[in-house]
Amino acid sequence: MKFRKDLVLNLIIAVLLVVAIGLSPAVFADDDNNGSGASSEQEDEAEKHRNEQIEQRKNELLEQFNQRAKERLESARENAKQLKERSSENRKKSCEARKTSLERKMNRAVTQAEKHKGVFDKIYTRVKAFHDDKNLTTPNYAELVAKVDAAQFDAEAKIAALDSLDVDVDCSSETVAGAVSTFREALSDTREAMKTYRKALVDLIKTMHDSNGESNGSEQ
């Protein structure tokens, strides 16, 4: 029993460490259908409330991103003298040379972020189910779960805000650099949120493994 329990937990930790945050494609093929049945009214209400919170947080983040864009635009205007040293034609050519690559990366970024979050969500669900099914005793379990929930919420909000950014790579516009920079900063924030989510999940699994491994060892 101890061997099986340790093996399962070690496999879960190994999968987490293999998943790269750098938006490399990762897919878990097995999509479990547990047939949990219809959700209760309380669960529906909780989900509705959570979605409203996500929407609210998304709008707050969008305001932050747009505010940062305004600040960068003001800074760019202050340095207009330096920017004028480059001809508009050269700037346009440089933009057009990178436009296709930039648009492809932008379109792929949200998809990959959602895919990685889906992997983490699936692992999190299985970890909690394993803990409950095996009646494990884990110190500070509720606190650790709360941290994972908070990190999961933040990651979902950051991805939603990133997806809502409407960035047009218009090489004839003087503000195109600011728009692209806004997207890159939002993407960086999203990646950091995913790293935080991953760390909270790893901390939960490690604590479960360590505490229950010691408990099993003392019983023998």
**Mean pLDDT lowest among 72-76, 186-190, 207-211:** 72-76
The whole-angstrom separation of Cα 109 and Cα 99 is 15
Helix (H, G, I), strand (E, B) or coil at 141: helix
Q: Which one of 35-49, 79-93, 135-149, 205-219 scores highest in mean pLDDT? A: 135-149
Model confidence at 158: pLDDT above 70: yes
Listed in sequence order, the residues at least 6 apart from 151 whose beta carbon sits closer than 8 Å to its beta carbon are: 193, 196, 197, 199, 200, 201
Whether the model pTM is above 0.75: no
Q: In the structure, how many helices (H) and strands (E) does the chain have?
A: 6, 0
Calculate mean pLDDT across residues 113-128. Answer: 96
pLDDT for residue 141: 94
Report whether 83 contacts 179 (CB < 8 A). Answer: no
89 with 198: CB under 8 angstroms? no
193: closest CA among 18, 20, 21, 14? 21
Distance between CA 201 and CA 204 in Å, rounded?
5
